[in-house]
Chains A and B, each alone.
Chain A
Amino acid sequence: MVALFNILIFPGFLFLGIYALLFEYLDRIIYARLQNRMGPPWFQPLADFLKLIGKEAVIPAAADKHVFPALPVVALAAVTTAFLYVPIWSGSSLLPFSGDLIVVLYLLTIPTLTFFLAGWYSTSVYATVGSMRALTQLFSYEVPLFMALLSPALLADTWSISGISQFYGAHPLYILINIPAFVVAIVACQGKLERVPFDLPEAETEIVSGTFVEYSGRFYAVFKMAINCELVVVAAIVSAFFLPFYTANPFIGFLLFIVKTVIILFILAVFRSVMARIRIEQMVKFCWKYLTPLAILQIIINILLKGVLPL
């Protein structure tokens, strides 16, 4: 019963869904305020979601009848599963096991793969170009992102997100060592979440909305939900890694979780408001020329420090 409650209501499906809608609202309002606009009212994401659910969902004649509707669900399921391994109200997640970091990273790759497949199975030219871009982009940011998250793990000597969180919670000063990894992670997350300057797969002004161009109605609603949930999960992971502050009290701990994720969201929102979208070949070049070396540098630093520091 408790497990079911955990999976379906809190911190699982329902909480994640509501928090994801709230997150979308916050993201949009922060983005709007940074641009000196009013921004949407608080219920806008929910209204959008409900409206999409109620609309006719069209499956293109040329698209695969079974894969096409299944993809959004797969994306959402992967993200929701990943959320179970992220610490929320304390230093420990719901189902921690050693090695859950790797599982979460792979679970988070699934949505991007579904974006690729969604574009591919839609067979529209815009979607095809978008899906090619999604895949190219995946190969560029995934490596630095993995390395940026693995280097704190190296120092903490554990492959479990909860373990890493607890380690840095106990040694808060060590976070400072991971600042380059934090920068890399934030930039790479922007790529993972397909936000400006790396929103090439759905670049509205170039390829309409890229991979999602053929999606409509409830299929698109689920996709959007998955994207919002991904935003929450990524913000939660980054905050678990780089802002590991906890209290024993679960209630305050929960509030702290919200504050931390909103801080990460704010950084992400500022990031997307200050830059222009770059081209795909510039993106690849940037990731391999600057981001990856920085992440490698962090790994080297952490390996060396591990020998020196009294752990």
Chain B
Amino acid sequence: MAKNVVIPIGPQHPSLKEPACFTITLEGEKVVNAVVGTGYNHRGLEKACEARSYLQDIYIIERVCGICSHIHSTTFCQSVEELAGVEIPRRAAYIRTLMAELERLHSHLLWLGIAGHEVGFDTLLMYSWRDRELVLDILAMLGGNRVNYGINTLGGVRRDVTPEQIEKIRKVVDIVEERNKYYVQLALSETTLAARLGGIGKLSHDDAIKFGAVGPVSRAAEVADDIRVTDPYSAYDEVPVTAITDNHADVFGRTVVRVLEIMESVKMIRFCLDNLPDGDIAVKVPRKIPEGEAFVRTEAPRGEDAHYVRSNGTDKPDRVRVRAASEANWHGMKHMLEGDYLADVPIIIAAIDPCYSCTDRAIVLDNHDTGKQSVIDWRTLREYSINWYKARGIDTGKIKIADSHLIF
């Protein structure tokens, strides 16, 4: 094949769990050009937040990401607490930290499984997801749901941790640690895994800084940036944290960073359980938040998560801006993909642990022919698409499209 082939990975593709389109130009099996196209999953969450009260927004914000839900609501709550000038009780801070680390456990185990699946190693997927299930059960027990725990509230947490629950957590953490030791060993010794993960998706130290990569992607390139260390929040000022780094700077390095971070999280969970202070779990926060703006950064399992909240003195925020971790990691994607094989594309994409809908904000529609921008309403769009198909000889008569007022 002398000619270059253009392959679209997405918007619907088995290796992508959410829609995004990667247009890959191939020379043989080598990627010579990659275009990252996101924007298929815009949900208007930021706007939705402006229409609701701060208390309701916690639940909206929690649904920004399906995996790092707790960290988003923590960040939002911290922003609002900063605006309101309240300090949360220590016990609440510890419970938030505990939840955040449990979340990191389940997120990294999930990622390990996905990585296994992308390289055709389904057994790893099944095993790590089985172990993740234990963590999810714990989270459901503590928060009341498997992924959107809803444990945060303005001024603290909604549910306390009982001694029996602590015992259960300890048991699960022991099992997960045991299992994870095995995964660390497996990741380091299985040659087919090393052959598939090593040397691909390179993002060097300098490039990681240049593209503003965050989280495991940058830490795998020896950029020791971990908000838990550099800018401690919740109880991280007391809980001992070490930023795990690695010098591989490739997908293998990201795997190593993640599996070792699980070990680190296990230690932190134990510390939290041992040193859980007594006291209240929440303080009261007024419904109306004083005027001002707050910017808070936290460390999500995928990297730095930043929220900006502006208040105008009412009970609804004036502006909420979410910068999820994946958004920062997209910029280096093109660089990581080019020069590798087509077979590596899914795993390289998966290696940043992308979260597409967290990333998608408003999109601008360009007119391909004129380059002009325009906004069209539902009815015109529908007419346009029907005519588009008619012009191509496709009978649209039988297709029933609901009118806009019927869609909710």
Contacts and interface: CB of A to CB of B under 8 A. Distances in A.
A/B contact in complex, CB under 8 angstroms? yes
Interface string A12-56: 000000000000000000000011110000000000000000000
B195 A205 contact: no
A279 B341 contact: yes
A196 B122 contact: yes
B342 interface: yes
A224 B118 CA distance: 23
A103 interface: no
B127 interface: yes
B345 A206 contact: yes
Interface residues of A, number: 29
Interface string B1-24: 100011110000111000000000
A60 to B, nearest CB: 15
A125 B123 CA distance: 29
Contact of B343 (A36, A128, A279): A279
Contacts of B123: 34-35, 273-274
B310 to A, nearest CB: 42
A129 interface: yes
Nearest to B16: A205
B127 A277 contact: no
B196 A278 contact: yes
B122 A206 contact: no
Contact of A275 (B121, B126, B343): B121
B7 A277 contact: no
A129 B1 CA distance: 10
Contacts of A196: 120-122
A132 interface: yes
Given A132-B1, A197-B120, A206-B346, A276 B193 contact: yes
Given A125-B6, A205-B117, A273-B122, A282 B15 contact: no
A207 interface: yes
User: B7, B8, B127, B344: which has the most chain A beta carbons within 10 Å?
Assistant: B7
A212 interface: no
A37 B14 contact: no
Contacts of B354: none
Contacts of A145: none
Contacts of B122: 35, 196, 273
Contact of A35 (B1, B29, B126, B193): B126
Contact of A279 (B1, B5, B130, B196): B196
A204 to B, nearest CB: 5
Interface string A270-297: 0001111111111000000000000000
Contacts of A147: none
A264 B123 CA distance: 20
Nearest to B347: A205
B7 A126 contact: yes
B216 interface: no
Contact of B120 (A37, A276, A281): A276
Given A126-B7, A196-B120, A197-B120, A276 B190 contact: yes
B116 interface: yes
A67 interface: no
Contacts of A208: 13-14
Contacts of A207: 7, 342
Contacts of B8: 125
B119 interface: yes
A233 interface: no
A138 interface: no
B192 interface: yes
Nearest to B24: A125
A34 B123 CA distance: 8
A36 to B, nearest CB: 6
Contacts of B7: 125-126, 129, 207
Given A36-B130, A279-B343, A280-B343, A206 B192 contact: no
A64 B189 CA distance: 47
Contacts of A276: 116, 119-121, 124, 190, 192-193, 195-196
Given A206-B346, A276-B190, A276-B196, A129 B15 contact: no
A125 B5 contact: yes
A199 B193 CA distance: 15
Contacts of A203: 120, 343
B135 to A, nearest CB: 17
Given A35-B127, A206-B15, A281-B341, A275 B346 contact: no
A208 B119 CA distance: 13
5 contacts: A35-B123, A196-B122, A197-B120, A273-B123, A276-B120
Given A37-B126, A125-B5, A276-B190, 16 more contacts: A35-B126, A36-B127, A129-B7, A196-B120, A206-B15, A206-B345, A208-B14, A275-B121, A276-B192, A276-B193, A277-B120, A277-B121, A278-B192, A279-B195, A280-B343, A281-B341
Give the 3 A-B residue pairs with the shortest CB-CB distance, closest first. Answer: A277-B120, A35-B126, A205-B15
